Structure 1
């Protein structure tokens, strides 16, 4: 009989690609991960990993068992979810939340949960959407709040269940008193955007290119609050979602974009846990918090 903990380590290795990354994710030492995988090889009776330069890679047998490990972990989660229905709140809900959602709707959602599910333990970490979705599959989190920009759909994964929270308008953000009235007029201005590789950066760059220019991105900053400060101080312009203001009056001058685009905010959970009472409860609170912001 395979031990589930060791199967999880193999599953993590298939996802992350190195023993060091698995050790960091699971809070073990690399030597402990290596020892446990050696024991798993003995249980399997076949080699599961092999040297690959300075690292390791899965053998054909390792890839096959890793696929079975993923299904075993799903069954384990489904069983725990069934048990939770008999005792709601028995298991915590671990949430990865992006910055604007943390600022604008998290506190309200937690207030609602304190009234509707006072015994439910909620654990929250602020994590970029791309990282959060990866770590959701790796089981570091149970629920992720992420975003999708218009015309730039994220890949739909069969193991993840997505549910829309709401839609958030995106506008041009200018220094107070700035007289610009359209995106095309900002070709010569300094821009602040999120780092390369993020969905927000790709989308913002595409809007500028569609307007006929390549943005002069002088500031790459993930923190949208810091972006706001640069813009309001007159050092840059940007494209910001409304949630960044968290219900307060905007400190920048906002100008509509053509077509009034919005980004979709959604939650994602593994399908094996999406019916858990705690996850259903948290999702409902997030939707209500967004609607009442």
Structure 2
């Protein structure tokens, strides 16, 4: 089977329409249709079927699309492995959330020129869903993402994810509103409060709804903010309560109520497309992110 045709099938499984596949790969819809018809002949079975004005994959098409991801990743890994001893050179494009960029990426970026003068890192600040979309479209090489232990995100088969670190989170409340007890007791104390959540990611809202449900109620989501600084300003203004990192200082007027039993922990990941990790520039960055060296650098990094 032709790898280019397998790519078309894999992209159709990801995007859902031939038009979007054509736009993504810079070709025409008719070309996509013709090439998938040839692939069906090579496979000896129908791969797509009409679905109104669109098409959808047949069961055989879905199975072959899954194989295509593995095949294309193996081909890419083999291509990148042809010269593993080559000096890493090129630009590694990284999309990630601000905390991971500050905590994990910036310390190693500062050290790269002395070790690999021909390697560059290009940084884009994005929330996890945005970063993963850029990774799927091959617009970045590495995504730094997060989820919570109480709201695991999971990853598609097209990517590989490595854990980086985790951090405990607490509930940000107005100063003086101290609450004792476990996480459920803390949440019950704010049953009637307005809740503040992220405007660009649903992970913390999922955590809030999960713990509130365990505490026996549905939280009232009132405001959404992308900035933790703005979220704290909203707390000081008496507009609600929301999740905040437990290991970072808070603004005057904000207190942290610990969340334990169940704990709430943010988990950071380094995510790449399958088959790309052998590319020398990316391998260098991943080794520094996940190995022992970055841990020493992280402790010296600004919070």
- Which band: TM-score by shorter chain? 0.7 to 0.9
Correspondence 1:292 to 2:289: no
Matches within 5 A, 1:209-220: 209-220=213-224
Match of 2:281 in 1: 278
Match of residue 203, structure 2, among 196, 199, 207: 199
Q: Distance in 2 between matches of 1:54 and 1:91?
A: 43
Correspondence 1:239 to 2:239: no
Q: CA deviation at 1:139?
A: 4.5
SS in 1 for 2:238: coil
TM-score, normalization by structure 2: 0.76
Match of 1:169 in 2: 168
Match of 1:263 in 2: 266
Task: Give the stretch that moved more between structures: 201-210 or 58-67.
Answer: 58-67
Task: Give the stretch that moved more between structures: 8-17 or 263-272.
Answer: 263-272
Q: CA deviation at 1:37?
A: 1.3
1:124-165 Cα offsets, whole Å, 9 max, x none, are 333332454465456454322222322444436665433221
TM-score, normalization by structure 1: 0.78
Q: Distance in 1 between matches of 2:282 and 2:232?
A: 33
**Are the structure 2 counterparts of residues 271 and 55 from structure 1 closer, same or farther at C-alpha, using a change threshold of 3 Å?**
closer
**Are the structure 2 counterparts of residues 153 and 280 from structure 1 closer, same or farther at C-alpha, using a change threshold of 3 Å?**
same
Matches within 5 A, 1:118-157: 118-133=117-132, 136=135, 139-155=138-154
Q: Distance in 1 between matches of 2:209 and 2:244?
A: 13
Q: Distance in 1 between matches of 2:150 and 2:14?
A: 28
8 Å contact kept, 1:174–1:237: yes
Match of 2:193 in 1: 189
Q: Distance in 2 between matches of 1:118 and 1:92?
A: 11
Q: CA deviation at 1:270?
A: 4.0
8 Å contact kept, 1:6–1:36: no
Q: Distance in 2 between matches of 1:43 and 1:22?
A: 16
SS in 2 for 1:83: coil
8 Å contact kept, 1:91–1:121: yes
Q: Distance in 1 between matches of 2:60 and 2:31?
A: 17
Q: CA deviation at 1:193?
A: 1.0
8 Å contact kept, 1:10–1:69: yes
1:61-96 Cα offsets, whole Å, 9 max, x none, are 644553443233212321232135232334543323
**Are the structure 2 counterparts of residues 15 and 104 from structure 1 closer, same or farther at C-alpha, using a change threshold of 3 Å?**
same
**Are the structure 2 counterparts of residues 12 and 157 from structure 1 closer, same or farther at C-alpha, using a change threshold of 3 Å?**
closer
Match of 1:250 in 2: 250
Match of 1:109 in 2: 108
SS in 2 for 1:278: helix
Q: CA deviation at 1:170?
A: 0.3
CA RMSD of aligned residues (A): 3.3
